[in-house]
Amino acid sequence: MGSVAIGVRDHCGWAVVVAVAGAPETPQVVLRRRVTLLDDPALPDQPYHAAAGLGLDTAADLIGRVERSARTASRDALASATHELAGHDVLGVALDLGAVGAGRMMVPDDLGEVLGKHHYLHGAEGELYHEALMDGAREVGLTVSRYDFKELRGTAARILGPAVSGRVDGLRAQVGAPWTRDHKDAALAALLVLAGPPT
């Protein structure tokens, strides 16, 4: 049935997953869903915030439990998506670059330092879910591509042509609501995976 790619726009505890087929001129959405990134609803979706007032050992235990839950949920969500896409050649999954890369905030390795600075809490939580999705994708056998979602529209315009964002925005007519910025970003990132590495 042809090649598809999956794009994921993640948040703390949940994500939007969109699979796209076709060329940048004629993209088609073949899967769209919101998924939960925690398999235990009793756990906090912002574990670093929840751990900020705890002792280091208790905080580390809580964060570790959320990390494990997020990895399991991410793996299950991506496995379910690839199962639904059976018959397609799934080329890979596109994820946000997150805190890695030049010019972006790097979260310290020291847990006490992270818990002591509020701006680190958000970065650490974002990276927790990015890492869980990367691990889950690899467990499912998906190749991972990472893009800076803050620069995604510019990247897509440069690689796929200036009209691509408008085409993706217009996919709402094909798929109906909801078709939010998260869906559009996931679809654009998936189209970048379909296009392959820039030449």
Class of the domain covering 3-40+68-103+127-195: alpha beta
The pLDDT value given to residue 97: 84
Q: Is residue 162 reached through a cis peptide bond, with omega within 30 degrees of 0 on the bond before it?
A: no
d(CA 66, CA 60): 10
d(CA 82, CA 86): 6
Q: With 0-12 CB in 10 A as exposed, 13-18 as middle and 19+ as buried, what is 44?
A: middle
d(CA 7, CA 93): 6
For 118, half-sphere exposure in the C-beta direction (CA atoms, 13 angstrom radius) is: 0
Between residues 17 and 198, the one the model is more confident about: 17
Residues 61-114 pLDDT 10s: 999 999 999 999 999 999 999 999 999 999 999 999 876 544 556 788 889 898
Residue 196's pLDDT band (boundaries 50, 70, 90)? confident
Least confident of 36-40, 59-63, 114-118, 152-156: 114-118
Structure-block tokens of residue 138: 């690899």
Least confident of 100-109, 143-152, 157-166: 100-109
The pLDDT value given to residue 109: 86
The pLDDT value given to residue 105: 63
Can you tell me the mean pLDDT for 14-20? 98
Asked if residue 199 has pLDDT above 60, the reply is no
Asked if residue 169 has pLDDT above 50, the reply is yes
**What strand order describes the sheet that includes 144-147?**
28-36, 14-21, 3-11, 89-96, 144-147
Cβ neighbour number for residue 108 with a 10 Å cutoff:
13
Residues 46-55 pLDDT 10s: 999 999 989 9
Contact of 70 with 128, CB cutoff 8 Å: yes
Which residues are CB-neighbours of 45 under 8 A, at least 6 positions away? 12, 13, 14, 37, 38, 66
Q: What pTM does this model have?
A: 0.93
